């Protein structure tokens, strides 16, 4: 084969090799960008802290609340989402039913720890309220969004009504009233919205309690 032919073939083969190598290098670069190198000495990421639904240490647990119950070094006894039953009790491994309603998280943790001492050495229990479902007020009648609403600390009638999205065009805002169970009896408390916002009947803007029903006729 003539010398010129050898040179032509060599140039042709070199032209084929360069793009192939560039494509391979590009694939390696993309792979290293997508899959970072693993290092055994990297510290583990800390687990997200459990968030409490209330910061009040005196909060009393009620039916339908959801609790996070953690027993230190005892994962089989811990439960991340324990609902409080309508009878006020919760169910836990080994100790079965425990009264929760009416207790603070600290009191319940002490009770569970006491019950576990028969089975676990020096149990350390933490109770966190993750969902507050027992503390609610109810707004009915001529409002845009009737229903049950969470009871916030210090909430009064005017604040509760703001949760319902305003009144309908048929609402009688002068005849609103609050129904409350007091010692087994139903109490009706009037609330004149127009007077309250004009500063004429501030005493009617009472602090609402769990279970109160606000009616807008």
C-beta separation of 154 from 205 below 8 A: no
DSSP state letter for 61: P
Q: Please tell me the distance from the alpha carbon of residue 140 to that of residue 168, in angstroms, as a whole number.
A: 12
Q: What is the pLDDT along the chain (217 residues), one digit of tens a residue?
A: 554 544 454 444 444 444 444 444 444 444 333 334 334 444 443 444 567 877 788 889 999 999 999 999 999 999 999 999 999 999 999 898 999 999 999 999 999 999 999 889 999 999 999 988 888 999 999 999 999 998 887 899 999 999 999 999 999 999 999 999 888 899 999 999 999 999 999 999 999 998 899 999 9
Beta bridge partners of 125: 71
Whole-Å CA distances, 153 to 38, 54, 121: 48, 10, 38
For the chain, which domains are there?
A: 66-131 (3.30.1950.10), 136-216 (3.10.560.10)
- CA 20/CA 121 separation, integer angstroms: 67
């Amino acid at each position: 084969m003539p010398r010129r032919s050898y040179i032509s073939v060599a140039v042709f083969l070199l032209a084929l090799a360069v793009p192939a190598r560039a494509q391979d290098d590009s694939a390696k670069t993309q792979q290293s960008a997508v899959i970072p190198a693993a290092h055994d000495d990297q510290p583990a990421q800390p687990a997200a802290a459990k968030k409490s639904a209330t910061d009040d240490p005196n909060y009393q647990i009620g039916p339908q609340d959801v609790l996070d119950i953690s027993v230190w070094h005892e994962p089989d006894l811990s439960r991340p989402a324990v609902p409080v039953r309508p009878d006020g009790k919760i169910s836990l491994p080994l100790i079965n039913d425990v009264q929760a309603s009416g207790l603070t998280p600290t009191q319940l943790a002490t009770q569970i720890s006491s019950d576990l001492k028969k089975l676990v050495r020096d149990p350390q229990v933490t109770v966190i309220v993750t969902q507050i479902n027992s503390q609610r007020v109810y707004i009915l009648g001529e409002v845009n969004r009737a229903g049950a609403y969470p009871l916030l600390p210090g909430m009064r009638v005017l604040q509760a009504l703001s949760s319902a999205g305003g009144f309908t065009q048929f609402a009688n805002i002068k005849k609103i009233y609050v129904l409350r169970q007091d010692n087994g009896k139903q109490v009706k408390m009037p609330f004149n919205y127009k007077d309250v916002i004009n500063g004429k009947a501030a005493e009617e803007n009472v602090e609402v309690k769990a279970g109160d029903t606000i009616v807008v006729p």
